A = this chain, B = another copy of it.
């Protein structure tokens, strides 16, 4: 079977983490195939940022797939539930915040796997991190390992003894500050990335949601000027 270890599918949300991952994959001399999802987010600033960064890092193709998560529901990021402000993101009986989108990374990686198989790529990059993260179960290393194992059984590669798929998680053991330092060294313009869960209509970050708080603290800890346009 034909495959090509120079091609990589990179999951990109246009956020700080996934844009850093794109810079890392580019630095490793992969040909980039950028994959974003329109999953009924409350706003489209993420998708705009993903498109800009795919162009800046010379992605060969940028694909946006509409996955209609609203039909399924279950999250403050896709439903009409208020996005919580700092310290208020968890319900009383759960360590997992209400912004958790059920099985989101499973669905994202499944599409990445499908596209990689069609492209003949074997390398998939995702910007999950188990350090400064929000407590989502599908960001943990054990989830990624289990996904990779499943992926190699799900596909032709697994049947035909071909070169296996690999899920790359270059940020998984990095703090937000370390991510920012690495991305800055590789030329990421974080002013062109979008992390806020609840931006103003013009796309300014709210500065007070969980995602903004983590991001702000990252720039402070990295001792790098925060270029994020806050409201």
Which residues of A are in contact with B by a Cβ distance under 8 Å? 1, 63, 65-69, 71-74, 93-96, 100-107, 110-111, 113-115, 117-118, 135, 137-138, 140, 142-143, 146-147, 149-151, 153-156, 158-160
Contacts and interface: CB of A to CB of B under 8 A. Distances in A.
A72 B137 contact: no
A74 B143 contact: no
A153 B142 contact: yes
A208 B160 CA distance: 27
B71 A68 contact: no
A105 B140 contact: no
A62 to B, nearest CB: 12
Contact of A147 (B74, B142, B150, B155): B150
Contact of A103 (B67, B69, B149, B155): B155
A106 B154 CA distance: 7
Contact of A68 (B65, B104, B143, B159): B65
B155 A138 contact: yes
B103 A110 contact: yes
Across the A-B interface, give the 6 residue pairs with the lowest CB-CB distance, nearest first: A74-B118, A103-B114, A146-B150, A102-B117, A143-B153, A102-B114
Given A103-B154, A110-B110, A138-B155, 10 more contacts: A66-B66, A72-B114, A96-B159, A102-B156, A103-B111, A107-B114, A135-B159, A146-B146, A147-B154, A149-B149
A160 to B, nearest CB: 7
